[in-house]
């Protein structure tokens, strides 16, 4: 609870609305589980709530759409339980009221096909819309998720190249299937969905007659279960089996549900037999996916398995540069470097931070400086920092170098313990927003100059000592994943 409290600004200045919001989140977390909560709900913040209309903000459109389609009704239900005057909930993009609230993508389709304000009340999509939805399917793809907008770096170059290959092969008049399936995996917010949408856009642009279906595994499951209920499984099968390219996102959600898995397996085999391309994404590799039948697991690994690694500083900076360029707004390089340095978890959060800065600039109309960015993102940075704590760093480093945890705070200066301790201090400086004195305190009350010395020392050493550099990199990854 402490975590959410800080995140959502419950403190001396707390007001009733924020308390309600915090309670809503707590209840929803119990309902959806830790993982889904972290992925989808934690980044959402309360924007305002008046006249029974609650407005919450998600950092990106994608997240907004996801929260709107998956959780809006539950959010409203819990809110009502807290405060029965609340009758509407809207999910918008960004943090500033009114900004960015108009959505031109078709993620949420307007009633007459026009542009719909995304902060109009949400309702469950009606069951009858399903067929139309297939037709409109492609228009529901995020327009920003194209290959042109995807920044390639070491961590994602294989996945990107593979996705491009698939897109080009599928769009080619002589239809070939380079690898079947293409299995993309990696942590949340690293670009899996972006790449899948990019494939769909490419095929749509270059070979409009190809039938492409992109959907989340959850949706696949939902449709299948409905088909079972309405005894229309034949149609369901036909629909999927007549596609040229089937892309299913986040298949980790399929694992465990036996009948859906079975159906997925059959659909999958039928498509592969007919030489149709399949692209799958998941948060883990096929062999690490839990709750998956063995035959399914091995089948998924038949084609090309490409992983998206955690981002590097260079990639993050590249992504920021590209987004800033697209937005046409001037942001000092120092600010971008600061963000790339501090927000290391995933691209979604990086974008969220950038959007916050841009929104603030546009609204307040002031220049961004490093200081104002730091100020604006204080909550977010505090939240990032909480992900890696100094205690955790000490524990991992001690384990890694096989020394006692107590050596992190001990007085001993033997190299065998002093070096790991320095590594831990260095990582604490890099991965948390703690100040040098605060770090010193955590290391047995050492002086801040000792910490500074340790940081410099390790900075020097990683350049000269490849083995140590590898240790540090490994630890960093482990701590951040
Ligand atoms: P995932 O599906 O892996 O959880 P997404 O594809 O939804 O992640 O990506 C999260 C956000 O980060 C999206 O807005 C996406 O456009 C952006 N993003 C991720 N990787 C890149 C990249 N290499 N270049 C540009 N934007 C990226
Ligand atoms: Mg995704």
Q: How far apart are CA 200 and CA 137, in angstroms?
A: 10
62 lines ligand 1 (CB under 6 A): yes
pLDDT at 43: 81
Top pLDDT among 62 and 196 is at 196
By most ligand atoms within 8 Å of CB, the mutation choice from 59, 148, 348 for ligand 1 is 348
Q: How far apart are CA 463 and CA 235, in angstroms?
A: 61
For the ranges 39-48, 61-70, 240-249, 316-325, the lowest mean pLDDT is seen at 61-70
94 lines ligand 1 (CB under 6 A): no
Percentage of the chain with pLDDT > 70? 85
Q: How far apart are CA 140 and CA 61, in angstroms?
A: 12
Secondary structure (3-state) at 305: strand
Nearest to 327 by CA among 106, 115, 149, 114: 149
Q: How far apart are CA 302 and CA 181, in angstroms?
A: 7
Residue nearest to atom 5 of ligand 1 (CA): 191
In angstroms, the first-to-last Cα distance of the chain is 22
pLDDT digits (tens, 9 = 90+) for 82-112: 888 888 888 888 753 333 322 222 222 222 3
Beta-carbon-side half-sphere exposure of residue 361 (alpha carbons within 13 Å): 19
Query: Average pLDDT of 385-391?
Result: 78
The contacts of residue 461 (CB under 8 Å, 6+ apart) are 468, 469
What token pair was written down for 85? 């005057």
Q: How far apart are CA 149 and CA 319, in angstroms?
A: 9
Of ligand 1's atoms, which has the minimum distance to the CA of residue 61?
A: 14
Q: Which ligand is nearest to the CA of 184?
A: 1
471 lines ligand 1 (CB under 6 A): no
pLDDT digits (tens, 9 = 90+) for 439-480: 999 999 999 999 999 999 998 998 888 889 888 988 987 887
Query: Average pLDDT of 382-391?
Result: 74
Q: How far apart are CA 103 and CA 65, in angstroms?
A: 10
What is the β-pairing status of strands 182-186 and 45-50? Answer: unpaired
Q: Residues whose CB is under 5 A from ligand 2 (ion)?
A: 192-193
Q: How far is the CA of 278 from the centre of ligand 2 (A)?
A: 16
Q: How far apart are CA 102 and CA 140, in angstroms?
A: 15
pLDDT at 433: 77
What token pair was written down for 409? 């705070």
pLDDT digits (tens, 9 = 90+) for 359-372: 888 888 878 888 88
Q: Which ligand is nearest to the CA of 150?
A: 1
pLDDT at 1: 42
Q: How far is the CA of 20 from the centre of ligand 2 (A)?
A: 29
pLDDT at 402: 93
Secondary structure (3-state) at 432: coil
Q: How far apart are CA 302 and CA 295, in angstroms?
A: 11
What token pair was written down for 124? 């469950």
Q: How far apart are CA 222 and CA 441, in angstroms?
A: 52
Of ligand 1's atoms, which has the minimum distance to the CA of residue 250?
A: 2
190 lines ligand 1 (CB under 6 A): yes
With the CA atoms of 430, 321, 192 and 212 taken in that order, what torsion angle do they form, in degrees rounded to the nearest 10? 180
Query: pLDDT-based confidence at 193, cuts 50/70/90?
Result: very high
Q: How far is the CA of 386 from the centre of ligand 1 (A)?
A: 23
pLDDT at 430 over 50: yes
pLDDT at 69: 74
Q: Which ligand is nearest to the CA of 325?
A: 1
pLDDT at 390: 94
CA 241 and chain centroid, separation? 30
Query: Average pLDDT of 134-152?
Result: 78
Cα distances (Å, whole numbers) of residue 288 to 99, 185, 266, 369: 41, 11, 21, 44
The contacts of residue 406 (CB under 8 Å, 6+ apart) are none
Of ligand 1's atoms, which has the minimum distance to the CA of residue 160?
A: 23
pLDDT digits (tens, 9 = 90+) for 252-310: 877 666 777 787 788 888 888 888 999 999 998 998 887 778 888 888 888 999 999 98
What is the β-pairing status of strands 245-249 and 277-282? Answer: parallel
pLDDT at 106: 26
Q: What's the whole-number average pLDDT of the chain?
A: 81
pLDDT at 98: 33
CA 246 and chain centroid, separation? 22
Residue nearest to atom 18 of ligand 1 (CA): 191
192 lines ligand 1 (CB under 6 A): yes
Cα distances (Å, whole numbers) of residue 91 to 6, 143, 425: 21, 19, 41
pLDDT at 384: 61
By most ligand atoms within 8 Å of CB, the mutation choice from 65, 141, 153, 194 for ligand 1 is 194
What is the β-pairing status of strands 102-103 and 304-308? Answer: unpaired
What token pair was written down for 60? 């990106």
Q: How far is the CA of 320 from the centre of ligand 1 (A)?
A: 12
Most confident of 10-14, 72-76, 255-259, 299-303: 299-303
What token pair was written down for 248? 């299913």
Residue nearest to atom 21 of ligand 1 (CA): 191
């Amino acid at each position: 609870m402490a975590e959410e409290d800080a995140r959502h600004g419950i403190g001396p200045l707390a007001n009733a609305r924020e308390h309600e919001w915090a309670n809503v989140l707590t209840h929803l977390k119990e309902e959806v589980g830790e993982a889904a909560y972290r992925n989808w709900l934690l980044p959402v913040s309360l924007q305002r709530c008046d006249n029974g209309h609650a407005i919450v903000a998600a950092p990106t459109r994608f997240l907004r759409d996801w929260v709107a389609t998956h959780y809006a009704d539950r959010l409203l239900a819990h809110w009502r339980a807290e405060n029965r005057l609340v009758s509407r909930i809207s999910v918008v993009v960004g943090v500033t009221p009114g900004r960015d609230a108009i959505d031109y993508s078709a993620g949420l389709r307007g009633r007459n096909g026009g542009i719909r304000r995304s902060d109009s009340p949400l309702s469950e999509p009606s069951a009858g819309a399903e067929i139309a939805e297939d037709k409109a399917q492609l228009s529901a793809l995020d327009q920003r998720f194209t290959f042109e907008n995807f920044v390639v770096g070491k961590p994602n170059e294989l996945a990107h190249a593979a996705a491009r290959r698939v897109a080009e092969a599928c769009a080619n008049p002589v239809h070939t299937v380079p690898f079947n399936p293409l299995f993309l995996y990696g942590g949340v917010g690293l670009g899996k969905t972006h790449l899948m949408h990019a494939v769909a856009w490419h095929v749509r642009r270059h070979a409009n007659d190809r039938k492409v279906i992109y959907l989340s595994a959850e949706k696949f499951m939902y449709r299948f279960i409905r088909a079972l209920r309405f005894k229309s499984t034949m149609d369901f099968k036909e629909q999927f089996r007549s596609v040229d390219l089937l892309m299913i996102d986040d298949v980790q959600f399929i694992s465990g549900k036996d009948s859906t898995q079975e159906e997925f397996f059959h659909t999958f085999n039928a498509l592969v037999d007919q030489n149709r391309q399949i692209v799958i994404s998941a948060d883990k590799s096929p062999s690490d996916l839990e709750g998956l039948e063995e035959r399914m697991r091995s089948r998924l690994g038949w084609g090309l398995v490409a992983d998206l690694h955690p981002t590097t500083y260079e990639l993050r900076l590249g992504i920021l540069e590209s987004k800033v360029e697209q937005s046409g707004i001037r942001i000092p390089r120092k600010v971008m470097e600061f963000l790339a340095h501090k927000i290391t978890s995933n691209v979604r959060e990086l974008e969220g931070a950038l959007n916050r800065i841009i929104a603030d600039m546009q609204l307040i109309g002031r220049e961004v400086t490093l200081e104002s960015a730091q100020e604006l993102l204080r909550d977010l940075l505090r939240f990032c920092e909480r992900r890696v704590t100094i205690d955790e760093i000490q524990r991992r480093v001690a384990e890694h170098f096989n020394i006692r945890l107590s050596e992190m705070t001990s007085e001993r200066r033997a190299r065998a313990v002093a070096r790991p301790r320095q590594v831990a201090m260095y990582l604490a400086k890099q991965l948390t927003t703690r100040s040098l004195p605060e770090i010193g305190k955590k290391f047995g009350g050492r002086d801040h100059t000792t910490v500074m010395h340790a940081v410099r020392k390790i900075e020097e050493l990683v350049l000269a000592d490849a083995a140590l550099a590898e240790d540090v990199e490994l630890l960093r990854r482990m701590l951040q994943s």
